[in-house]
Amino acid sequence: MKRRAYIGLGSNLGDREGRLRTAVSALGKTAGISVAAASAIYVSAPVGAAEPQPDYFNAVVAIDTTLAPRALLDALQRIEHDAGRARVAGERNTARTLDLDILLIGDMTIDLPGLRVPHPRLQDRAFVVLPLLEI
């Protein structure tokens, strides 16, 4: 079954705009995913960072997917890894080459370890809400 999902994209290391564009392209090349729309790129200050960091470039992409939620998360994490993202257990709000978050999947509500949909802090983050509203 095909569902509309919304993915938040962020990068604050290296070629931030290039990483976001590459991520959108990688999403479109992933089996079971087609990109339906992409927002403009927004710039935002890091949230909750313990140390100074560069600003983030953020966007939101609407996709249509036949992937199950966990398979979608796995696909997003592969794209992050390919962009040089190194996940460290327990670390939050750190600088990163690429961050891809599932914001919404249709009208689904999911509360599993490592996967919560809608994204638990979606409404608190203008850098997600504004591009989401745009598309």
At residue 9, the pLDDT reads: 97
Q: Which residues are catalytic?
A: 85, 96, 99, 101
At residue 91, the pLDDT reads: 64
Give Cα separations from 55 to 74, 88, 96 (angstroms).
Answer: 26, 21, 11
Separation of alpha carbons 90 and 122, rounded Å: 20
Q: Which residues pair with 123 in a beta bridge?
A: none
- Can you give the pLDDT of all 135 residues of the chain as single tens digits? 899 999 999 999 999 999 999 999 999 999 999 999 999 999 998 876 667 889 999 999 999 999 999 999 999 999 999 988 877 666 666 778 999 999 999 999 999 888 999 988 888 888 888 999 999
Residue with tokens 């710039």: 43
Burial track 47-83 (b if 16+ CB lie within 10 A, e otherwise): eeeeeebeebbbbbbbbebebebeebbebbeebbeeb
- Residue by residue, DSSP assigns 20-43 as HHHHHHHHHTSTTEEEEEEPPPEE
- CB neighbourhood size of 30 (10 A): 18
Shortest CA distance to 103 belongs to which of 129, 82, 77, 67?
129
